[in-house]
Amino acid sequence: MGYRSERKRIRTSDAVETKARNRVFKARERARRDARMLEMLRQGTPPYTPVVMSWLSRKLDKRPSKITPDDIKTLLA
């Protein structure tokens, strides 16, 4: 149709391309972060830092206040 619709089509295709390219880098970063957080869990003792608790919350799908030591042990096993 017009210039605006053409730009929108180009932006959409660029976004799909960028997302596919970044997917690889993000997967690597997630793996590095998981390894780093597991190492911090093994070395540390409760109370854990907010960064570790946030990561645990995402991994266990629980609120940080509901995470028990047993949950952490099962994650480390």
Query: How many helices and strands in the chain, by DSSP H and E?
Result: 3, 0
Q: What are 11-28's pLDDT values in tens digits?
A: 999 999 999 999 999 999
Q: Mean pLDDT across the stretch 57-64? A: 95
Q: Please report, for residues 2, 31, 49, 59, 75, the alpha-carbon distance to residue 34 in angstroms, rounded to integers and kept in the order given.
A: 47, 5, 15, 9, 11
- Kindly report the average pLDDT of the chain as a whole number: 93
* pLDDT for res 1: 64
Q: Domains of the chain: which residue ranges?
A: 3-76
How far is the C-alpha of 60 from the C-alpha of 72, rounded, in Å? 9
- What's residue 14's pLDDT? 92
Say yes or no to pLDDT of 35 above 90: yes
